[in-house]
């Protein structure tokens, strides 16, 4: 999208100037935090929007969010911003602690679905965050959600469904042998990739591990590869090196890893959470499974027997970063009026 597109202009015929506020953003201390937010910001910049990011440390502290609201008001005094874009429901609180410019909130998942502890139960703190996020939806000027499930959950029904876009330039297939050589992985083993923190109980790594243990009784050459803290630029190579991806979470909204695996044409085995069923529907080599080791093992066997790459990249072409940026800009324009 070129910078002269009318969606990028305000009533004074200048480019949109957006202040993004987020408690999720990569930093030297947390290089993997909110990489999808950074990608979204970059896509808006490439689309011709003038964007400034205000990242703050939320750390689950309401005080930090209120403090961020004061900092945001100071920024608005010095910058000619047209709109504040808040990522995550609770971040709508500091964003709405001013009425100088419109606010748009993007809801990402747990901010509407709740937070699940390692014992599988929803937390009280998570329920309070959901409640606050639901109320804030009525106090702002625009809302987007990353999955249809979230729109059904949001009390305010005027929300645009805009998935977090896929960086199609970064996430593309590489030759398997080349990817394994780069990552120093065994050239012959069948690799089941688990992308996520194995210590995060919500991700249910224990189910993936038990499933692969079952599968190994029939196929000893299978290896479960958990990847959590690898450099972001290596993730497309892991997706190209693996034979299948497995996702066994209790709780997801629109997992980026599924869309990125599709962009790399990797077979997928996943439980039916969030928008996974929508994303993999009709893609040969991708399978939904029950959240139990036996069924996960059966579907992994099918994915490995598929024996090649999928055509998943075609499925996610419509949610590239450029396309989702275009949709987001339309929401901004509607909120500004």
| 0.85 exceeded by pTM | yes
Give residue 257's pLDDT.
96
List domains and CATH numbers for the chain.
17-165+320-336 (3.40.50.2000), 176-317 (3.40.50.2000)
Give the pLDDT confidence of 88-145 residue by residue, as tens digits. Answer: 999 999 999 999 999 999 999 999 999 877 677 888 999 999 999 999 999 999 999 9
Q: Looking at the chain, list the stretches that DSSP marks H as alpha helix, in order from N- to C-terminal side.
A: 35-46, 62-78, 92-95, 110-113, 124-136, 148-153, 176-183, 205-216, 235-241, 256-263, 276-280, 293-306, 312-316, 321-336
Give the pLDDT confidence of 202-232 residue by residue, as tens digits. Answer: 899 999 999 999 999 999 999 999 999 898 8
What pLDDT band is residue 293 in, cutting at 50, 70 and 90?
A: very high
Is pLDDT larger for residue 20 or for residue 121? Answer: 20
Give the pLDDT confidence of 37-47 residue by residue, as tens digits. Answer: 999 999 999 99
**DSSP H/E element including 226:** strand 222-227
Give residue 1's pLDDT.
38
Nearest 5°: the CA angle 58, 336, 88 is 20
Percentage of the residues of the chain whose pLDDT score is greater than 90 = 82
């Amino acid at each position: 999208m070129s910078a002269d597109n009318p969606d990028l202009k305000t009533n004074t015929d200048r480019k949109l100037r957006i202040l993004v506020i987020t408690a999720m953003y990569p930093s030297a201390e947390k290089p993997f935090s909110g990489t999808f937010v950074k990608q979204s910001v970059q896509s808006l910049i490439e689309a011709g929007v003038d964007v400034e990011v205000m990242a703050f440390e939320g750390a689950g502290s309401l005080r930090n969010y209120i403090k961020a609201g004061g900092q945001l008001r100071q920024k608005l005094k010095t910058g000619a911003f047209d709109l504040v874009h808040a990522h995550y429901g609770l971040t709508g609180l500091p964003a709405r602690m001013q009425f100088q410019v419109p606010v748009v909130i993007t809801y990402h998942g747990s901010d509407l679905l709740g937070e699940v502890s390692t014992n599988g139960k929803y937390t009280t703190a998570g329920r309070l965050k959901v409640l606050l996020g639901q109320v804030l939806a009525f106090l702002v000027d625009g809302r987007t959600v990353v999955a249809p499930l979230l729109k059904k959950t949001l009390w305010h029904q005027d929300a645009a469904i805009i998935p977090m876009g896929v960086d199609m330039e970064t996430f593309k297939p590489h030759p398997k042998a080349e990817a394994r050589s780069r990552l120093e992985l065994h050239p012959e083993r069948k690799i089941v990739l688990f992308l996520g923190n194995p210590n995060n109980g919500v991700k249910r790594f224990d189910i993936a591990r038990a499933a692969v243990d079952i599968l190994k009784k029939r196929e000893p050459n299978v290896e479960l590869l958990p990847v959590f803290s690898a450099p972001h630029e290596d993730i497309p190579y892991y997706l190209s090196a693996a034979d299948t991806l497995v996702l066994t979470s209790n709780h997801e909204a629109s997992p980026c890893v599924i869309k990125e695996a599709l962009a790399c044409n990797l077979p997928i085995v996943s439980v039916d959470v969030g928008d996974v069923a929508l994303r993999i529907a009709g893609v040969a080599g991708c399978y939904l499974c029950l959240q139990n080791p036996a069924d996960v093992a059966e579907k992994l066997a099918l994915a490995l027997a598929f024996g090649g790459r999928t055509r998943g990249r075609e499925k996610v072409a419509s949610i590239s970063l450029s396309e989702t940026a275009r949709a987001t800009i339309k929401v901004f324009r509607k909120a500004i009026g």
